[in-house]
Structure 1
Amino acid sequence: MKKTLLAAACLILTLVKGYGQQYMTRNGFVGFYSKTPAEDIKAETRQGFAIIDEGKKNLAFAVLIKGFTFPKELMQEHFNENYMESDKYPKATFNGSFAGDLAPGRDGVYHVTVKGNLTMHGVTKPVEMPATIERKGNQLIGHAVFHISPEEFNVSIPSLVREKIEKSLEVHVDIQCDQK
């Protein structure tokens, strides 16, 4: 598992080469949620690797699928084995850019638009979402909320369960990147 994370980190670093100031974290938060009549779905991880190149306005993110934890162990087992096939597709990645100006060296919250490619379960899709980046000293703190549908990433939901859950999952991303 450490080798996979190291490989993801190397990939991200090569994708975000640049001359601007870089910020990085290895403990970014990703959580996804879905309210259902039968049972709510909630999973979270604090093992996200993120890097932001402020000058080029590039960013990249990787998270190991097996890093997500659920309130119920059986739910986590089904997620990894039946839905996400995490042995076959061990990570999800995002590679993209942001539009919006961050005042150099000035603390504050900046509203940006993040646009790029999300790869999950072997499928790559373009995504775009509003986000905030807060400059706080030598850190950039990013926050985004967006929705994805398992079907658009070829994640099969059995018919027995399909009608009992929402069609899309709400995804929260929070990163606190230190200047490198």
Structure 2
Amino acid sequence: MKLYYPMKTYYIMKRVSLFICICLFAIHARAQDILISKNASVSFFSSTVMEDIEGKSNTASSVINAKTKELVFKVSNTSFQFQKKLMQEHFNENYMESDKFPFSKFSGKITDNVDLSKDGNYTVSVAGNLDIHGVVKPYQGKVTLAIAQGVITAKTTFKVKIEDHNIKVPSLVFKHIAEFVEVRLSAVYQPKKSS
């Protein structure tokens, strides 16, 4: 009888330890599914006969869930830099109204069946909603992925019609801004570190 309780305690402790290990593994596995890009690059280019306008930001953030293929891309509108300071002022005050709409954001999903844990180069389809200037519109396009040892490099280029997002261009400068702007995104995703 004296040995029964210590043995019972041993088996209980063994089961508790096994349960804790399984929980820790599950938490680690979930953390490995999340990939983060903290300094993603966003640029847009508008070309007209009168003038070329380009804005660049290297402070966008993005997250991909490798299991569900869902992704989010977000950039602060005031982080865009221009060659001319006046362009930056017009962009934030007149066009984007950055005080009202501080961020531009894309939320979507990779629609192709691709294993994001497998090294290689892929071109995948992405579909989702683009929120610019408080107007949300559906977008879809192609993204190139280079996967190496758990790190994903993603690049894409697409066009945005400024009128679709209620961005008003004064008639005096209308000839300086194209109807469509070309947007380029580039991000390097690394697995989220489990805390």
TM-score in terms of structure 2 length: 0.79
> 1:105, CA displacement in angstroms?
3.7
SS in 2 for 1:163: helix
Q: Deviations over 1:50-100 (max 9, x none)?
A: 000111010001100000000111100110001100011000111110122
Structure 2 residue 106 is the aligned partner of structure 1 residue 94:
yes
Runs of 4+ in 1 over 6 A off after TM superposition: none
Match of 1:120 in 2: 132
User: Which amino acid in the other structure matches residue 21 of structure 1?
Assistant: D
SS in 2 for 1:86: coil
Structure 2 residue 144 is the aligned partner of structure 1 residue 132:
yes
Q: What number of residue pairs does the alignment pair up?
A: 163
Q: Deviations over 1:10-62 (max 9, x none)?
A: xxxxxxxx787111011100000011111101000011110001110100011
Match of 1:61 in 2: 73
**Equivalent residue for 2:63, pick from 46, 51, 57:** 51
| 8 Å Cα contact 1:60/1:95 also seen in 2 | yes
Using the alignment, how far apart are the partners of 1:164 and 1:73 within structure 2? 16
Match of 2:161 in 1: 149
Give the alignment's Cα RMSD to 1 decimal.
Answer: 1.5
User: Which amino acid in the other structure matches residue 110 of structure 1?
Assistant: Y
| 8 Å Cα contact 1:37/1:165 also seen in 2 | no
The higher radius of gyration belongs to: 2
Structure 2 residue 35 is the aligned partner of structure 1 residue 23:
yes
Aligned sequence identity (%): 36
Q: Which structure 1 segments of 5+ residues have no match? A: 1-17
Using the alignment, how far apart are the partners of 2:63 and 2:120 within structure 1? 19
Match of 2:90 in 1: 78
**CA shift in 2, pair 1:20/1:73, >3 Å:** same
